[in-house]
A and B are shown apart, each in its own frame.
Chain A
Amino acid sequence: MDNNETNNPYTQTVEVTPQAAQTDNAPQTAPADITPQPVPASELPPEALRTLPLEEARVPEPKSYEKLLCFLSLGLYVFGPTASGIPMYIVESMNLQSDVSSPIFSVLSSFGGVTYIAAWVLMIIARVKYKKSVFAKVLMWVYIGLLVAAIIAVIILVATCINALNNCNCSGMG
């Protein structure tokens, strides 16, 4: 028991003289075992990292999915409408019976719609997660430009139809 107490650094008694206690050179009572161990920079919270020197604050960057998201979005944007539009055109030109062609058109149109929406969703995720990504920004403006062009095309088509109908002398149309 006595041996343990003498070996235990927490129970070691140090004689302190009144003079020594008043001065700054007082003997250290804290044991060497509980001194804080150095923590690797990767385990430190971000608040602590800001106070560290630059060399110590270097943490391995998380893997970026920016390019993967953008390429996937672009692929779906191009592949979806193409993969549904071309077969639709072929089926239509074959003049199949409506019982045969209707399910094909239904599946193809749904596929085209889902891939188009997925392309938009992936582009927006890329824009939100990687704000400084130039690729995602370019994709966004391309998609918006094509969307606006499609709307303008529909409006022009409608205006052309109205004009054509107004100029038509057929009975019941004038």
Chain B
Amino acid sequence: MKANILNNYINSLHFPFYSTIVISSILLGVIIACIIMYREGLKRTSIIYTAFLTFVCIMVCGLSLQIWLTGDPRRLAFTGAGGALGLLIGAFSSIFIHRDHEKEMMASWVVTAPLMYGLAKTACHISGCCVGIPYHGKWAVVYESDHISRFPVQLSESLLFTLIFLIGLFMLLISGKPLLTSRVVIVISVIAKFSMDYLRDGHYLAKSPLSQNQILALICGVIALGLVEIMNNILGKKQVKGESKIYHG
């Protein structure tokens, strides 16, 4: 019995593709972030070190948070919230290590994060995790594991977050305001993640107003906005100090 994605029937055989797709999505996101940083005028060494550190942080935090939440190291999977947290840790550490186009560096990673998440969601769609609520309309998918017709929430998230990435990218390239772009992308992403979770089966079955994913999304959003504001304040103070020195000197 072969898998037939075109007929919306997903076979369990596709599960091993999960890790390959997740790693590929993150690597593609890192490459795109590097291209954006290069275009924004960062030094080549800063870009390379930032790319390595952020990739490591994304992988480690994504896996560690999964073990933290499940308490079972054998259930090796990747948590999107952990990945987002890792991305923030990597980007923010790199900003203070290199001190090279800080705002642009932050914006490059924040803009690329929705793309990584969106592409990685295709892995969930193929492997059959993070499934949607029972649904019998158009584009419904059926998994071999339970034979229930479901809403394709993973693919919807993929499309939505890819769209958020495109909005952020055009905003960064056209407006040239990295901080504003970072704030907008963070807010839209948190709203999107929070809303889409209502279409997930886990949330539907839990019957609670707020799921674990929604709480994690809110925490990640608050941390991300906080880091952007802290960075803005530190950079603002540094600029004022520099200006006063020049004025009096």
Chain A positions near chain B (C-beta within 8 angstroms): 88, 92, 98, 101-103, 105-106, 109-110, 112-113, 116-117, 120-121, 124-125, 127-128, 144, 147, 151, 154-155, 158, 161-162, 165, 172-174
Per the 8 Å Cβ criterion, residues 174-231 of B in contact with A are none
Q: Mark B8-35, 1 if CB is under 8 A from A, else 0.
A: 0000110011011001000000000000
A-B contact pairs, 25 of them (CB 8 A): A92-B74, A102-B70, A102-B72, A106-B71, A110-B64, A110-B68, A112-B64, A113-B60, A117-B56, A117-B57, A117-B60, A117-B61, A117-B89, A120-B53, A120-B56, A124-B53, A124-B97, A127-B49, A128-B97, A147-B56, A151-B23, A155-B23, A158-B16, A161-B16, A172-B12
Closest to B68 in A: A106
Asked if A120 and B52 make an inter-chain contact with CB atoms under 8 angstroms apart, the answer reads yes
Q: Which of A88, A98, A151 has the most CB of B within 10 A?
A: A151
Chain B positions near chain A (C-beta within 8 angstroms): 1, 12-13, 16-17, 19-20, 23, 45, 49, 52-53, 55-57, 60-61, 63-64, 67-68, 70-74, 89, 93-94, 97-98, 144
Say whether chain A's binding surface is mostly helix, strand, loop, or mixed: helix
A-side contacts of B89, CB under 8 Å? 117
B-side contacts of A151, CB under 8 Å? 23
Asked if B60 and A106 make an inter-chain contact with CB atoms under 8 angstroms apart, the answer reads no
A-side contacts of B56, CB under 8 Å? 116-117, 120, 147
Write the nearest CB–CB distance from B75 to chain A, whole angstroms: 10
Q: Which of A128, A144, A155 has the most CB of B within 10 A?
A: A128
Asked if B71 and A174 make an inter-chain contact with CB atoms under 8 angstroms apart, the answer reads no
Asked if B60 and A105 make an inter-chain contact with CB atoms under 8 angstroms apart, the answer reads no
